[in-house]
Amino acid sequence: MSSVITPERLRSLFRPRSVALVGASNKSPFSNTAYRNLVEFDFTDRTFLVNRRGVETHGRPTVTSCAEIGQPVDVAFMMVPQAGTLDALTDAAAAGIRNAVILSSGYGEAGEAGRAAQAELVAHAESLDMVLLGPNHLGFANLVDHAPVTPILGLPHEAGSVALLSQSGASSKAMVEFATLSGADLSYMVTLGNEAMITAGHVLDFLVEDEHTKAIAIFMETIREPEVFRTAARRAAAAGKPIVVLKAGSSELSARTAAAHTGALVGDDRTIDAIFRDLGIIRVDSIEDMLITAGTAARLGRLEHSGIGVVSISGGACDILADRAEDLGARFPEFAPGTQEKLAEIMPEYGTVQNPLDVTGAAIIDPTIFTRSIEAVSADPEIGVVAVVNTLPWEREGDGKFSGQAFANAIGAGIQRASGPVVYVNQVLEPITDYTKEVMAEADVPHAIPGLRQAVVALRNLAWWSEATRDAGRGPSAEPRAVRVPESSERRGNWSEASARQLLIDAGIPVVPGTLVGSAEQAVAAAAELAGPVALKIVSPDILHKSDIGGVRLGVAGDEAVAAAYTEVVGSASRVPGAGVEGVLVSPMRSGGTELLIGVARDPQWGPILAVALGGIFVEVLGDSALSPLPVSPAQARELIESLRAAALLRGVRGTRPADLDALAEVVARIGDLALALGGDLESLEVNPLRVDGSTVEALDAVVTWTGKED
């Protein structure tokens, strides 16, 4: 189905030359407000009203069927009730209309009957070679071409370069309003509804090619057709178009709520985080941050450096920004010596040259301090963007001019003279109204962010995205290495530890030595070879929890003890009736070092996900783990390891030997490569523990499970 939903096809939907309002009716609030929009945007000359009874509607004559229109129409905007939808589609298709926007609800979101109705709807559309947006949504608005195909009122008349996609119809109006008030002017607003055919990924794909759109904001509760979404997101990154997502469903509570009202599955939220990080998608946690980040990204584009420089008239604002930068992970680097020298000449003697820079009250007397400071800071080699804090008015004060116009002008002059991007930051989250825009235009200030916290979030997000996607489009960030894997026919059933060990060894993953023995004598001989205390473990594909049944003996020393331990361990198998026993594994005991858990599990939506954690209390009590989709390069594996809260333990605290993180990362990446090479047959692969001690890295145990049953 996806193959027909190409960007070219969607262009005819989202940039329609003409629209048929099917089911137009004076009695329908939806029809009324949708038509009101078409009037407001001067689209009525390209709008045809279809009314079954052919009565005059919205003060205009109507036709009773699309076929009567007699002109090419790009979109059938359907207001008909669910019961009439299939017939209406047939009618539209007969008139050559290939796209439909279906508002009505009662489909996938409405239980089993609804899901059946939706399947029928899609099958019908496919049979007619039609493409559907919706159902159960509120249409879309193309603000670039002034084509509003939506009953949502209050659309802005000025187009911008942020596309807004939303799975929530009910919140879209508020989002559109906030976009306008925060300076995130929109190119398109698309409500997605049930995504029966067109999903967020398809719309993304269209927007990547749309010249008017520079950044994309998405509110979503579930990601349908993950591979379409993933591919489109990679194309967006390569095209330099940031995607900013407010993905609801991070809490158990909202997972429950979402299930209640959309019927969609909400994936594990930490997996979503990992996938988004991998794709360079910016994740936010409020509507405000979504739109302000997207608006800022659309205006500023990719930052060349990740450092943020701050120039402010308020010392208090400097402090608030510095605090939030620390909390939220924005980087305010110290200024380079050259910058400091320049600023020292600009600033009054009592001022302090640092980042954030408080220009002090001296800038009230001499506003050019703003101009010159901005210029100096923007030229700093580590600064990718300068945030200039001042106030902006949202409404006219009395009859006079804005009392701060001189400062705004000085800042505007600095923006013109700056070597890199500069953004004006208002101290509080006030609206950017038409009056604000007048003040900005007079000052030659193209863009502003309202609010200090919002500025830190938006600029941190943009700096992160700029780094994360800088090399996007130059091929995959990690390429899995070839590893030797067993024949597909063997990848099923349960595997014993010995088989799992061999799988790792074949893939070039270091494993603690071990000898599979079949008698007490062989055990004694194997232990003698290892010189030192040994571990004995039962080896059986049917026994996964060896310790629980007494199938493991640790720290065994001396021939007699080894022989006795062998007997005990073999005997333990009798506690699992019918278990086949391959033998007993004799391995040297290891002590010291740090133990990790490296696992790969298959996410139903996103495929294999690698999990890295420190063993024991860290993962069990603190839940301290890091996730990533595969493949991961050794460098990415190292980043994952270093992102753990307990990573300091690997760097050697309390007298322990620092772990060789490169050697460790190499092994972790290779475990990922192995899991990837095993493909869909693999259910999960867990190396636990993977022990690291200085530059020694070895797997002490492993469990592999397959999706397929044994023949």
Q: Which is nearer to a second copy, 319 or 603 (CB)?
A: 319
Least separation in angstroms between residue 260's CB and a second copy is 4
Q: How far apart are CA 63 and CA 56, in angstroms?
A: 9
State the minimum distance, in angstroms, from the CB of residue 66 to a second copy: 27
Distance of alpha carbon 338 from alpha carbon 341, whole angstroms: 5
Quote the least distance from Cβ 617 to a second copy, whole Å.
6
**Nearer to a second copy by C-beta: 196 or 685?**
196
d(CA 447, CA 459): 13
- Judged by beta carbon, residue 4 or residue 428, the one nearer a second copy is 428
**Closer to a second copy at the Cβ: 177 or 542?**
177
**What is the 8-class DSSP label of residue 481?**
P
- Judged by beta carbon, residue 183 or residue 608, the one nearer a second copy is 183
Residue closer to a second copy, measured from CB, 219 or 464: 219
Per the CB < 8 A criterion, the answer to whether 281 and 270 are in contact is no
Distance from C-alpha of 228 to C-alpha of 388, rounded to nearest angstrom: 40
Element (H, E) at 704: strand 702-706
Assigned token pair, 630: 């595969």
Helix, strand, or coil here: 149? strand
Beta strands, E only, 396-532: 422-426, 448-450, 515-517
Q: Report phi then psi at 385, rounded to 5.
A: -155, 145
- Beta carbon of residue 160, minimum distance to a second copy (angstroms, whole number): 17
Closest CB to a second copy among 88 and 175?
175
Q: Which is nearer to a second copy, 120 or 620 (CB)?
A: 620
Least distance in angstroms from the C-beta of 548 to a second copy: 12
Least distance in Å: CB of 643 to a second copy?
14
DSSP 8-class letter at 650: T
CB 218, min distance to a second copy, A? 12
* Residues 71/16, Cβ–Cβ less than 8 Å: no
- Which residue, 322 or 579, has its beta carbon nearer to a second copy? 322
User: Distance between CA 127 and CA 191 in Å, rounded?
Assistant: 25
- What is the closest distance, in whole angstroms, from the C-beta atom of residue 95 to a second copy in the complex? 30
Q: Which long-range contacts (CB under 8 A, 24 or more apart) does 366-371 make?
A: 367/406, 367/407, 367/409, 367/410, 368/410, 368/413, 369/410, 370/311, 370/313, 370/407, 370/410, 370/411, 370/414, 371/410, 371/411, 371/413, 371/414, 371/417
Minimum CB distance to a second copy smaller for 408 or for 630 = 408
689: preceding bond cis by omega (within 30 degrees): yes
361-392 core/surface letters (b: 16 or more CB in 10 A; e: else): ebbeeebebbbbbbbbbbbbebbbbbbbbbbb
Q: How far is the CB of 355 from a second copy (least distance, A)?
A: 8
Q: Phi and psi at residue 693, in whole multiples of 5°?
A: -145, 105
457 neighbors 292 (Cβ within 8 angstroms) = yes
Alpha-carbon distances of 287 from 182, 292, 299, 429, rounded to whole Å: 11, 9, 18, 13
Residue closer to a second copy, measured from CB, 17 or 645:
645
For a second copy, give the closer residue by CB, 160 or 351: 351
Rounded-to-integer distance, Cα 439 and Cα 417, Å: 19
Question: Whole-angstrom Cα distance, residue 454 to residue 436?
Answer: 18
| Nearest to a second copy of 352, 574 (CB atom) | 352
Exposed e or buried b per residue across 301-336, where buried means at least 16 C-beta atoms within 10 angstroms of its C-beta = bbbebbbbbbbbbbeebbebbbebbeeeebbbbebe
* 239 burial type by CB count under 10 A (0-12 exposed, 13-18 middle, 19+ buried): middle
DSSP designation for 19: E
Find the shortest distance in angstroms from Cβ 9 to a second copy.
27
Question: In Å, what is the CA distance from 695 to each residue of 481, 530, 663?
Answer: 22, 21, 6
CB of 525 to a second copy, least distance (A): 34
Minimum distance, C-beta of residue 316 to a second copy, in the bound complex (Å): 3
* DSSP states along 310-369: EEES-HHHHHHHHHHHHHHT---PPPPHHHHHHHHHHS-TTS---SSEE--THHHH-THH
Cβ-based nearer residue to a second copy, 170 or 531:
170
Angstrom distance (rounded) from CA 362 to CA 353: 14
Given the complex with a second copy, which of 66 and 644 has the nearer CB atom? 644
The phi, psi pair for 584, rounded to 5°, reads: -125, 135
**Is the Cβ of residue 114 or residue 514 nearer to a second copy in the bound state?**
114
Q: In 10 A of CB 601, how many CB atoms?
A: 17
The nearest distance, CB 200 to a second copy, in angstroms, is 14
Q: Find the shortest distance in angstroms from Cβ 39 to a second copy.
A: 11
- 223 to 192, 226, 396: CA distances (angstroms): 11, 6, 44
* Closest separation in Å from C-beta 382 to a second copy: 15
Closer to a second copy by CB, 308 or 517: give it. 308
Minimum CB separation from a second copy for residue 612, in Å? 17
Shortest Å, Cβ 566 to a second copy: 26
For 693, the 3-state DSSP assignment is: strand
Structural contact between residues 279 and 237, judged by C-beta atoms closer than 8 angstroms: yes
Instruction: Name the residue nearer to a second copy (CB basis): 107 or 706.
Output: 107
What DSSP state is assigned to residue 213?
-
Distance CA 355, CA 351 (A): 12
The CB-of-421 to a second copy minimum distance in angstroms stands at 22
